[in-house]
């Protein structure tokens, strides 16, 4: 069975609290004896997840440092069964279970795993039905992305699609409306129609959406920027856009 490693106290704790925890074993550096680790230890015992303390040398022998990357491990790691990989053929099924007027997030060319993880976390909090990204030139669901997602990687179906423009056109035919974000847009997010089955499309960190993706959108919007910077980090902008949809829907409820 394929296995992956997740680092960090909060990320591991979130995995343990998941309705279907996939944590096989937790390893803690013996130097970590603070309250956060104690709480994690108690949770692992409650969930009947194996947990053990090891010295620093043994801790680093347990992992491939290349997989750690720039993640902050905090002296805690978990060996987990591999997260479920959704296939393109399952997209209709997932959306069919999402209820009336599903909200979908599309990330076109987001290559930073930190941003992918943060976007997944916002998507989960906003009740997004699924997240769609192109297979090529996109961040993967690495240990870094999972750590930043803080458990959202377990809950949000993530689809890597071969042809993003084709997938978006197919969703439009099924009644979805596409709202894309672009700095050159003339409409502000707060003036846009965000009703109905809605797809929010966010572009890459630097270049924004690709041309075909942009042309597929029904409307392009932007955020009002009143300071000296011209744009926001994609994960911050994603949270703002998703929760504007949430705000509108709460207001109507």
Q: Looking at residue 150, what is its pLDDT?
A: 81
Q: What domains are there in the chain, each with its CATH number?
A: 3-81 (3.30.1330.30), 88-252 (3.40.1280.10)
Both tokens assigned to 17? 């609290």
Q: What percent of the chain has pLDDT over 90?
A: 62
Contact 146, 11 (CB under 8 A): yes
The total of other beta-carbon atoms located within 10 Å of residue 253's CB is 5
| Strands laid side by side in the 103-107 sheet | 158-161, 130-134, 103-107, 198-202, 177-181, 219-222, 187-188
Walk along the chain (253 residues) and give the pLDDT tens digit of each residue. 467 788 888 888 988 887 767 899 999 999 888 999 999 999 999 999 999 999 888 887 766 544 554 456 788 988 888 887 899 999 999 999 999 999 999 999 999 999 999 999 999 999 999 999 999 989 988 878 888 888 788 889 999 999 999 999 999 999 999 999 998 999 999 999 999 999 999 998 778 899 999 999 999 999 998 888 878 899 999 999 999 999 999 998 7
Both tokens assigned to 210? 């690709």
The strand pairing partners of 105, in sequence order, are: 131, 200
Question: Hey, CA dihedral for 146, 151, 152, 158, is it positive or negative?
Answer: positive
Query: pLDDT (tens digit, 9 = 90+) per residue, 46-63?
Result: 999 999 999 888 887 766
| pTM: predicted TM-score of the whole model, two decimal places | 0.82
CA angle 215, 221, 222 (to 5 degrees): 125
Both tokens assigned to 207? 């270049």
Query: pLDDT (tens digit, 9 = 90+) per residue, 59-100?
Result: 877 665 445 544 567 889 888 888 878 999 999 999 999 999
């Amino acid at each position: 069975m394929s296995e992956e490693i997740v680092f960090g106290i909060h990320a591991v704790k979130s995995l343990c609290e998941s309705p279907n925890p996939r944590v096989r074993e937790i390893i803690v550096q013996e130097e970590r004896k603070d309250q956060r680790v104690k709480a994690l230890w108690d949770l692992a015992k409650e969930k009947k997840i194996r947990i053990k303390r090891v010295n620093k040398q043994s801790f680093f022998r347990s992992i491939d440092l290349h997989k750690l990357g720039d993640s902050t491990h905090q002296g805690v790691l978990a060996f987990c069964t591999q997260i479920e990989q959704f296939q393109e053929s399952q997209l209709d099924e997932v959306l069919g279970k999402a209820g009336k007027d599903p909200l979908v997030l599309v990330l076109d060319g987001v290559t930073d795993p930190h941003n992918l993880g943060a976007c997944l976390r916002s998507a989960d909090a906003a009740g997004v039905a699924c997240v769609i990204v192109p297979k090529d030139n996109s961040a993967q669901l690495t240990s870094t992305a999972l750590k930043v997602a803080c458990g959202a990687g377990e809950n949000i179906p993530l689809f890597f699609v071969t042809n993003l423009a084709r997938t978006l056109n197919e969703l439009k035919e099924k009644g979805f409306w596409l709202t894309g974000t672009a700095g050159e847009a003339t409409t502000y997010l707060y003036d846009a129609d965000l009703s109905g089955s809605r797809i929010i499309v966010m572009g890459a960190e630097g270049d924004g959406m690709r041309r075909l993706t942009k042309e597929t959108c029904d409307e392009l919007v932007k955020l009002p920027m009143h300071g000296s910077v011209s744009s926001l980090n994609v994960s911050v902008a994603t949270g703002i856009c998703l929760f504007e949809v949430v705000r509108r829907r709460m207001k109507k409820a």
